[in-house]
Amino acid sequence: MLDKNTIVGVIGSGAMGAGIAQVAAMAGHKVVLYDNNATALGKAKSSLTTTLQKLQEKGKVTSAEEITDRLTYAPDVNQLAPCGLVIEAIVERLDIKKTVFADVEKIVSDDCVLASNTSSLSITSIAAACTRPQRVLGLHFFNPAPLMALVEVIPAVQTANELVVAAKELMQQWGKIPVIAKDTPGFIVNRVARPFYGEAIRIYEEGIADIATIDWAMTEIGGFRMGPFTLMDYIGHDVNYVVTETVFTSFFYDPRYKPSFSQKRLLEAGWLGRKTGKGFYNYAENTPQPLPNKDNELGNKIAERIVAMLINEAAEALHLNVATAHDLETAMTKGVNYPKGLLQWCDELGADKTLSILDDLYHHYHEDRYRASVLLRKYASGNKKMVS
């Protein structure tokens, strides 16, 4: 169904689409990178040519020219006709994706696999736009695609079982680490990671700690590579906020995923983070950055609160069979580089301690946002381990 002879099509030549095209070409596939925006397509060609040349100079590829020759830059959608796999990597709008899938299906063969790189939208809904929905699934790469190992493989309700197996094997051939996720909002990573951002903003909005202090607590005490505000600025609020809003809406307005006005206002102002020079932090040249309050007691409270919320989200995902325990742990360590899997973290802290933190928050706020997963409560009462 899918092998090294499969011609891979990629729709969208932005950073993600170009990155996926690079991964496929480096894995030995002929690749058709399509974009109806000629300027964007030219930019992608120039960028990929430069990137591959640099990789050759560093000895990471044998021949940049050989890989470049596998890449076709297509301004016409009909050039996707010979592809056996087409991966869509365009704007996160369900209506546009459904239109694109319905149009592409008329061009490619009946056995061509159609995949979406969506980070949070319903694969089932996208598949429903097709006359052969059984050939549709999600392949969610992480940015930058050539460097990030994780790929979430998401079958729709309609997806053929054998396609899931074939897609997972193909991702392994591409040197990726695939995990299987149920088609629920945010899949694994963008669901489980929501509290890292949302609870950090809540702590900031309440005046418990400022942005620099929260980031310091999560890096120096929590062990994360980036603090939540630094990471949101890095991702861009046009991406991060929209995912939060999408997950919140898709979960029928569950307060656990509620977006914040603080981040929405940045989006409205056009302060998208690093890409615009301003977000939660100001990145203008010679601008001094705020210093954290390195109070260990405060830092520990911040880290414990956010980590407890993350663990609870992972426990709930396990409880609802969003993914296996192994895939949940892999997704969070390989997809967002957490210092350890959240279920392992729960075992080390103790489910009873994690539950106590959440229950204290729930009794303080009386908000459903802090309700503990029934699975966490079960493991705490039985003094059981999640994974070890």
161 is catalytic: no
Buried b (16+ CB within 10 A) or exposed e, 76-87: ebebbeebbbbb
Look at strands 31-34 and 8-11 and give their pairing: parallel
- Out of 190, 240, 312, 373, the active site residue is 190
Active-site choice (88, 105, 152, 199): 152
Amino acid in the structure at residue 24: A
Q: Which residue pairs, CB below 8 angstroms and at least 24 apart, start in 89-94?
A: 89/10, 89/11, 89/12, 89/14, 89/16, 89/17, 89/20, 89/117, 89/141, 90/11, 90/12, 90/14, 90/17, 92/118, 92/119, 92/120, 92/121, 92/242, 92/243, 92/246, 94/121, 94/122, 94/125, 94/126
Q: Are strands 85-88 and 71-74 parallel, antiparallel or unpaired?
A: unpaired
Q: Which of 140, 237, 312, 329 is catalytic?
A: 140
**Quick check: is 190 catalytic?**
yes
Active site residue 119: yes
Q: What distances in angstroms separate CA 94 from CA 12, 18, 236, 358, one per listed residue?
A: 15, 21, 20, 35
Verify cis geometry, omega within 30 degrees of 0, for the bond prior to 144.
Answer: yes
Six token digits for residue 378: 């079960």
| Catalytically annotated residue among 116, 119, 122, 312 | 119
Q: Is 125 a catalytic residue?
A: no
Nearest to 219 by CA among 302, 144, 148: 302
Calculate the CA dihedral of residues 19, 21, 23, 27 and round it to 10 degrees.
-170
CA 139 distance to own-chain centroid: 11
Residues annotated as catalytic are 119, 140, 152, 190
